[in-house]
Amino acid sequence: MKKLLLGNEALAQGAIDAGISGVYAYPGTPSTEITEYIQKSKIAQELNIHSNWSVNEKTAMEAALGMSYAGKRSLTVMKHVGLNVAADIFMNMSVSGINGGLVVVVADDPSMHSSQNEQDSRYYGKFAMIPMLEPSNQQDSYDITKYAFDLSEKFGLPVLIRMVTRLSHSRAGVTTGDRVAQNEVKLPKNARQFQLIPMHARGLYNHLIDIQPDMQEHSENSYYNELTKGTDNSFGIITSGIAHNYLMENFEDGKCPYSVLKISQYPLPKKAIKYLFDTCEKILVLEDGYPFIEEMISDFLNENKKVIGRLTGDVPRVGELNPDNIGKALGFKVTESIEIPKIVAGRPPELCVGCGHRDLFNAINDLGKEADTQKVFGDIGCYALGALPPFNTINTLIDMGASITMAKGAADAGIHPAIAIIGDSTFTHSGMTGLLEAVVANTKMTVIISDNSAIAMTGAQDSSASGRLVNICKGIGVDPEHLKVLTPLHKNLDENIDLIRNEINYKGVSVIISQRPCVQLSKEKKDNIKHLLEIALN
Amino acid sequence: MKINIILAGVGGQGILTIAAVIDTAALASNLNIKQSEVHGMSQRGGAVQSHVRISDKEVYSDLIPVGKADMIISVEPMELLRYLPFLKKDGLLVTDSNPFLNIAIYPELEELYTEIKSYPNSILIDAQKIAKDLGNSRATNIVLLGAASHQLPLSDESLQQAIKTLFERKGEKIVAKNIEAFSTGKEIAKKIFSKKIVL
């Protein structure tokens, strides 16, 4: 019988059935459920598939490459902005190539449901000059992942699979197949392959260039790039990934009169695109994310105006696709609909009742009344909601770790008080190096680590920081006299305000760990954290 | 046969339980399903929705087009109205009457109820109280599912079997309470519609 799986779960099952020996990832919506599925999978446990969370996306991808170096298949998973963190290893392992199959899964978030931008990871795939796959539905997510590992080993390159939120977080029945046995340890034939000193890297880079035509040829003939010839030549349509479903939704039983090229494998297949150019009056490009294909196939001066899509305004330039905006691009009448009654009020997300971040924000807001020059530099996590009413505590929020380094730069510019607020897991992900920089410069600033001992926003996964923060800060060189721990509870409000005020007035780097476990954690987890903290203090 | 359902509520209210029952029953009935859901930031007390699509033919889009939903089932009365643009003409509305008050400005309840009742095909019930009276206040969702079930292309047996499958590990008592919640919801919907026809 079919299994009902999220796109993410189907992909994860595909990776298990492709014989992976490890998944390396840092949580991030919409990618998180891929790793969680493998963590919970009985068969993955029996096969001893490594699945513990990594500290960040860069460490994750590097570990995946290490496993590949040893000859085994590995998967690394992240959200789109996570690939920015891992960009260094991503670009360089495309030059070194891989040994055991290595697949990079990146989940993009068009419409920014849970992200700060809607960057399109396909540009990274092209940048690195590696094969790229884009599933269009849940069954594809399973099948394509198995295929991706074979493709990776065939070309000796990492392969990028691009997901989008709607596919990641939508369920459908999926038929699964046989499982491939895991690889044994087998070291690379060429001992210099993984030594990217310039004299070796030049040769490897030339090899990457040399095999581009082979990748192109493979894509031209791929089962995953499907051209369906139509009867009406007024349009030729190119879809990528999930866009195909929205297109077909507009036709009774998916009977589309136009020629349709469904793309799920890159580099872009030239022959099929040439067919559309030769036979159709206009080419409509439907792709979730940036106008990636449209840009590549449009003429630079836009003289023939043959290609239409997001760039020409026929499809909205930003935001995710849906059956309605594609229907409009096809010239269909918009279905009449009821308007939302005026009495309906907005309901933005909010911090949980009883959340420790609330009590911390209350303390900081009270201090803000004493010094109107106070600026608070925020970071990525639940506490980002501190930028919204009723708190309005946080002034900036850009990327993982930027709270500490932006506070440093602002303090250098003369801002005081300059307060950074960063979560425990975000701190170990990307905050520690910034703190070291501030300590070295003895910058007059205060870092508050809001420690709820979980990666809360993505579902309270285990944090690498749990029980380690005091020792990490000491190790980085924070003056122990100015390394304080407080408990964010309403009853401690006055005492917490005094503590933070004292540290703000210190002429150097002070760190305050605001410590209370996430209310979403089970009692068992909370007890475990308490135990870790006791060990740390002794 | 194709049916489009929007489930609505506030993050944490558990609308995905309703989705899981419908999905499980549909899968056992050999139907095609697509069900999109919301994960991430909105789950923290924000507005959340799930699109459930069932058909004996292929289901393409994971999202329901505007004006094509056959019904909206909501566990919160204001959240029901948020998704009206998706509702088909004379589509079914089923909602619990209890507001979830986590925002500063919430509409007057009477105004809200009047708006809901202005749609002829609507069921506004205190499912929370019904569930509580049955001795399981957590079965509010299942009461609402029961109230909507007369317009689902799934048999009562398949839905009840799905409830059994999903609640099995919580024990026989919980299964029985949820089956009872389902049947009570169904009965109430029947009464409401028979009255409407009389009027």
Would the CB atoms of B34 and A327 count as touching at under 8 Å?
no
In a domain, A419, yes or no: yes
Do A242 and A154 share a domain, yes or no? no
In a domain, A95, yes or no: yes
In a domain, A218, yes or no: no
Print the domain residue range for A43: 3-210
> Rounded to whole angstroms, what are the CA distances from A517 to A275, A305, A390, A487?
59, 58, 22, 10
Do A231 and A139 share a domain, yes or no? no
Query: To the nearest whole number, what is the mean pLDDT of chain B?
Result: 94
Residue A409 tokens read as: 């730069």
Per the CB < 8 A criterion, the answer to whether A46 and A78 are in contact is no
B197 has a pLDDT exceeding 70: no
Do A230 and A372 share a domain, yes or no? no
A-chain residues near B86 (CB < 8 A):
337
Would the CB atoms of B27 and A1 count as touching at under 8 Å?
yes
Return the higher-pLDDT residue of A363 and A2: A363
Would the CB atoms of B47 and A347 count as touching at under 8 Å?
yes
pLDDT computed for residue A250 by the predictor? 97
B-chain residues near A321 (CB < 8 A):
none
What's the mean pLDDT in A126-140? 98
Q: Among residues 270-309 of chain A, which lie with CB inside 8 Å of chain B?
A: none
Decide which of A169, A186, A210 is a domain's last residue.
A210
Of A68, A283, A243, which Cα lies nearest the Cα of A162?
A243
Do A363 and A500 share a domain, yes or no? yes
Do A118 and A37 share a domain, yes or no? yes
Question: Which domains does chain B show, CATH number per domain?
Answer: 2-198 (3.40.920.10)
Of A515, A438, A531, A425, which Cα lies nearest the Cα of A476?
A438
Q: Please tell me whether residue A526 adopts helix, strand or coil conformation.
A: helix
Q: Among residues 325-344 of chain A, which lie with CB inside 8 Å of chain B?
A: 327, 334-341, 343-344
Do A184 and A87 share a domain, yes or no? yes
Task: Please confirm whether the linkage preceding A269 is cis (ω < 30° from 0).
Answer: no
| HEC per residue, A319-374 | CCCCHHHHHHHCCCCCCCCCCCCCCCCCCCCCCCCCCHHHHHHHHHHHHHHHCCCC
| Predicted confidence (pLDDT) per residue in A325-352, tens digit | 999 999 999 888 999 999 999 998 899 9
Per the CB < 8 A criterion, the answer to whether A294 and A305 are in contact is no
Query: To the nearest whole number, what is the mean pLDDT of chain A?
Result: 96
pLDDT band at B199 (very low <50, low <70, confident <90, very high): very low
What's the mean pLDDT in A248-260? 95
pLDDT computed for residue A538 by the predictor? 67
Closest Cα of chain A to B162: distance in Å?
13
Decide which of A210, A238, A258 is a domain's last residue.
A210
**What residue of A is the nearest CA neighbor of B90?**
A338
| Predicted confidence (pLDDT) per residue in A48-102, tens digit | 999 999 999 999 999 999 999 999 999 999 999 999 999 999 999 999 999 999 9
In a domain, A33, yes or no: yes
A494 has a pLDDT exceeding 70: yes
The complex's ipTM works out to 0.95
Residue B100 tokens read as: 């979830």
In a domain, A348, yes or no: no
Q: What angle is formed at CA A301 by the lines to CA A295 and CA A302, rounded to 5 degrees?
A: 65
> Which single residue is written with the structure tokens 């009449």?
A336
A-chain residues near B71 (CB < 8 A):
none
Of A297, A288, A286, A228, which Cα lies nearest the Cα of A258?
A228
For residue A262, the domain's CATH number is 3.40.50.920
A32 has a pLDDT exceeding 50: yes
| Predicted confidence (pLDDT) per residue in A188-232, tens digit | 999 999 999 999 999 999 999 999 999 999 999 999 999 999 999
Per the CB < 8 A criterion, the answer to whether A46 and A73 are in contact is no
Threshold 0.95, pTM exceeds = yes
The gap between the terminal CA atoms of chain B, to the nearest Å, is 31
Q: What angle is formed at CA A254 by the lines to CA B151 and CA A7, rounded to 5 degrees?
A: 75
Would the CB atoms of B40 and A1 count as touching at under 8 Å?
no
Of A331, A252, A5, A312, which Cα lies nearest the Cα of A138?
A5
In a domain, A72, yes or no: yes
Instruction: Find the DSSP H helices in A114-226.
Output: 122-128, 138-155, 165-168, 198-210, 212-220
What's the mean pLDDT in B93-111? 95
Assign 3-state DSSP to chain B and report helix, strand, coil percentages, each to 5. 50, 20, 30
B6 has a pLDDT exceeding 60: yes
What's the mean pLDDT in B152-173? 95
For residue A444, the domain's CATH number is 3.40.50.970
Do A165 and A249 share a domain, yes or no? no
Q: How many domains does chain A have?
A: 3
In a domain, A217, yes or no: no
A312 contact partners, CB below 8 Å, separation of at least 6: A305
How far apart CA A108 and CA A114 sit, in angstroms, is 10
> Rounded to whole angstroms, what are the CA distances from A531 to A68, A152, A428, A472, A528?
36, 43, 20, 18, 5
Instruction: Work out the burial of residue B172: count CB atoms within 10 Å of its CB; fewer than 13 is exposed, 13-18 middle, 19 or more buried.
Output: exposed
Residue A65 tokens read as: 């490459």
